Structure 1
């Protein structure tokens, strides 16, 4: 099917939503939105399939808002009428923000339509209070949604529109059992929409189990490339010891803007972030060892431009939706072709040009050949490349005088609490032994037991050993006298 680049008004969207979207600079619908809206506004179940960054949020968000505010038989009462289930906290916040923006001029009775976000890593109390104050639309992650539903704080009996967003990622993260438990608490009479970049067999099975004759919509032809046509891909065979030097040059390429660097492990993500910061780059990290507040701060800094390089693991980066990423660097190659598609889908979005660079180490060649074959990239044997290789500078438009640093080292974040604890534990014994040697202002005997832990002592207890020696001498004197 070919998209016509229609406006939301032409597609029958309410004036209040059209006005709110126009204020956000959104007037024309993307392909997935054009194809989805007519069916979704009519109340049909549907499966929307499109690559990351193709506008899936408004493809379900706009009809969701319009349907629950246009149902005169069931006016909104503050009990949730629509539920959007997403795989990650980051995506939850993004979808929440988009729905709030689109619902800016929508009202329920004599109040504004309420959208509430529910996700883990935050205190329960504010989320419970938000639900009690009235929530017409709830956006949340499976675990926290299920917790609050089981505790009785989240009422699911009034849901009339259900959306599963990024369903393939929920499958990867092991959330399908939680989703099935949530589905059992939602009325069968509802509209259901499922959106996913890929459609593995378990997702198809899930869709058949809870949807009513869904229409499967693709925003592009089935044979089209799995990655954005506007993304130029480069693959290099790189040595592990030279990767940071190589990345430092790539980050100085002509036209390089916001950049995401992907690693497979949390340790590597933090190591790369620290080393790039030492070289003067404005860099942040998002991985599982960081608390939710630190992750949100890094994402906010990346969105606002305070930092322009974000190093992330696959799990932590799921759901991050930033349109202006110009470069994606695979510092370590992903586990499979689907993860590769998700990674490089962060650039080349919304019709913009993007650059994806993959660094393949020698021990990763076999896995890369599988990814290359699955996606038809025709690059099973990448060229051996170093930070000094001329073809690297030429292909990525890197200045020939680029070096491994761009300025003084940037301030490093405080060490994680686990590292502080480790350091304190190694220093504490020395301080303790020092205190024992000077207890009560008197030196303690150098006997080997002197350093052993003792109960809290007083001066009398410190002198206990000499007192016992005096008691042992007393019986001998009378014995000597009787002998004489």
Structure 2
């Protein structure tokens, strides 16, 4: 029997709004979470990114909201500014028919402007831990009346060292609060946080067959540091991605790679912590509008960026832990689409590859830079113990040499738009519409 949003407890007006946006059927996380949250119960939801969890908590939050009251009733805590902005965009659209006010607070914004909006009355606040606590300490935000608290990407907040700040925020909210914790993975410290502050939470786990998303084809390219940039460009030219994300360990390497790809003629830009907030927002807007083909980023962008049209992820630098690998490649293969994730590995980095394969319980397909297959994808393997990296030295960063061409394919048009089969340069045609196939 099919399920719609009304049967989950969402009012008809909101379902009609979702229909207009092309959202007709609830995802599994929405089907399980919405009734629980409407019943007022605490919730622990473990689900991969791209499963629809934002609407899973926003829809019941707005159903319970009292827009006639000017105080902060809902607090949504996220690890990054980018994720706060994305949730704010969705929340602002949902708030319109309710007459509710939504405010995002994060570093890099004008504090006085935020304070002015808070004084005018805001029901929903979405922000990063540091800026939220800054407002609490200034006395410019009162969370005592906040009865609903969302902790989104809780494992990433732990990874970024925000757990103490998160606990402080929890203690400033109402003692009668409802807590909703969403996380792709569930480390022991996150589980312990839930135990301390949540009241008999309902535990939901949305899992795919494998640890990583089944819709993503994962490939490993064995190469040297010197040849890595050429290998990357060769695959970009071969795959002709519609939108691609390329991950580097550090902002210095992201800057270097962005410059190198730009010199070769690719439509590319960079995203890392050294950029001003205005620049970060401008880059993300251009990327989401497909005015860029390639986004070179550090792990600041590995979480929460929900851009369905990302067709390829390239790990220019291999992640040093399983969680980072999962969240990086999770930028593609979203909302039922397929994706390709390519990880470049040098001889000095094979220990990290073994760690990832053991963590996801699978052997990844390995190729040489010339395309020759070394190992085809194997069946899921049992765990063989934990590999540690404490004694492993990082591979030395070397500045590569570059050359290439800029093309794009796998355009994602709306159904009413004809798909061109011609191989055209990226600049030959600027996409103006995007949608699912």
TM category (shorter chain) comes to: 0.7 to 0.9
How far off is 1:173 after superposition? 0.5
- Match among 122, 125, 128 for residue 138 of structure 1: 125
Give the conservation status (yes or no) of the 8 Å contact 1:261–1:309: yes
The 5 Å alignment of 1:268-347 reads 268-347=253-332
Larger Rg: 1
Cα distance, 1:49 vs structure 2: 1.0
Residues 76 and 136 in structure 1, CA contact (< 8 A), matched pair in contact too: no
Matches within 5 A, 1:99-118: 99-106=91-98, 112-118=99-105
From 42, 56, 73, give the equivalent of 1:81.
73
Query: 1:211, 1:76 → 2: CA distance?
Result: 28
Q: Which residue of 2 aligns with 1:353?
A: 338
1:93 & 1:276 partners in 2: Cα distance?
Answer: 28
1:100-143 deviation line (CA, Å, top 9, x unaligned):
1222311xxxxx21111111111201111111111011101100
Alignment partner of 1:93 is 2:93: no
Equivalence for 2:386: none
Task: Tell me by how many angstroms 1:255 deviates.
Answer: 5.7
Task: Give me the TM-score of the superposition, normalised by structure 2.
Answer: 0.84
Q: After superposition, what is the alpha-carbon deviation per residue over 1:370-394, rounded to whole angstroms, capped at 9, x for unaligned?
A: 11111122149x44x23xx1438xx
CA distance in 1, matches of 2:406, 2:282: 24
- 8 Å CA contact 1:162–1:192 kept in 2: the answer is yes
Partner of 2:419: none
Number of the residue aligned with 2:350: 365
Distance 1:272 1:309 in 2: 11
Counterparts of 1:41 and 1:31, CA distance in 2: 16
The answer to whether structure 1 residue 31 and structure 2 residue 37 are counterparts is no
* DSSP 3-state at the match of 1:184: helix
Q: Distance in 1 between matches of 2:364 and 2:43?
A: 36
1:212 aligns with 2:219: no
Give the conservation status (yes or no) of the 8 Å contact 2:241–2:293: no
* SS in structure 2 at match of 1:251: helix
Change in Cα spacing, 1:276 to 1:182, as seen in structure 2 (3 Å) is same
- Secondary structure in 2 matching 1:58: helix
1:461-476 to 2 correspondences below 5 Å: none
SS at match of 1:253: helix
Query: Once the two structures are superposed, what CA deviation does each residue of 1:283-316 show, in whole Å capped at 9, x if it has no partner?
Result: 0100122222211111111001110100101124
Return the structure number with greater helix share. 1
CA distance in 2, matches of 1:316, 1:347: 13
Question: What is the deviation of 1:16?
Answer: 2.8
- Asked whether the 8 Å contact 1:330–1:359 carries over to 2, the reply is yes
Question: Are the equivalent residues in 1 in contact too, given 2:321–2:356 (CA < 8 A)?
Answer: yes
> Which residue in 2 is equivalent to 1:21?
18
Shift of 1:348: 0.5
Q: Report the secondary structure of 2:237's partner residue.
A: coil
What residue is the counterpart of 1:49 in the other structure? 46
For the aligned residues, what is the CA RMSD?
2.0
Cα pair distance change 1:255/1:230, threshold 3 Å: farther
| Aligned residue number for residue 202 of structure 1 | 189
Contact residue 30 and residue 53 of structure 2 kept, 8 A: yes
Task: Mark the runs of 5 or more structure 1 residues left unpaired by the alignment.
Answer: 70-74, 107-111, 396-402, 411-484
Tell me how far apart the structure 2 counterparts of residues 49 and 6 of structure 1 sit (CA, whole Å). 21
SS at match of 1:406: coil
Whether the aligned pair in 2 keeps the contact of 1:51 and 1:226 (CA below 8 Å) is no
TM-score of the aligned structures, taking structure 1 as reference length: 0.76
Unmatched runs of 5 consecutive residues or more in structure 2: 377-402, 408-424, 428-437
1:20 touches 1:105 (CA, 8 Å); kept in 2? no
Change (3 A) 1:42 1:357: same
SS in 2 for 1:359: strand
* Counterpart-to-counterpart distance in 1, 2:13 and 2:196: 35
SS of 1:9 mapped into structure 2: helix
Q: CA deviation at 1:409?
A: 13
